[in-house]
Amino acid sequence: MARISGVTLRRDKRVEYGLTGVKGIGVNTSRIILGKAKVDLDKRVKDLGDDEIATIQKIIDLEFPVVEGELNKRVHEAIKRLRDIHSYRGLRHHQGLPVRGQNTKNNARTRKGPRRQAIKKK
């Protein structure tokens, strides 16, 4: 079981794509990390040895310190700051509406949630 930065990686995937399960690491960053760790890109996560996992973890800790928990913390702090200063973006976050100027008349169901039933008068 490969556990990196507090995330259990999917065993059946190739290592270069398995590492993308860690928030803040994409495919390109994954390839850079594996190149420095001298791990074959075609290797599966289940085939990694303990020493390879330790090497990958060490490289991530040294060169990419803002992943997973720290990244989530920074994003939430940024949103909280916007809400505290009562900026337009902060108010949109607070109201649960789209933040970046999208149309809300017809779309935005992902942010607004399911439609509410109208109460019909008799």
* Percentage, residues of the chain above pLDDT 70: 100
Task: Please give the CATH architecture assigned to the domain spanning 3-63.
Answer: Orthogonal Bundle (1.10)
Residue closest to 97 by CA, chosen among 76, 80, 75, 112: 112
Return the domain boundaries, the chain.
3-63, 69-103
Q: Which amino acid is at 10?
A: R
What CATH number does the domain located at 69-103 have? 4.10.910.10
Mean pLDDT (the chain) is: 93
29: three-class secondary structure by DSSP: helix
Q: Residue 19: how many CB atoms within 10 A of its CB?
A: 26
pLDDT digits (tens, 9 = 90+) for 54-111: 999 999 999 988 999 899 999 999 999 999 999 999 999 999 999 999 999 888 899 9
Question: How far, in Å, CA of 107 to CA of 73, rounded?
Answer: 29
44: three-class secondary structure by DSSP: strand
- Cα–Cα distances (Å) from 42 to 5, 16, 52, 63, 104, in that order, read 21, 8, 14, 23, 44
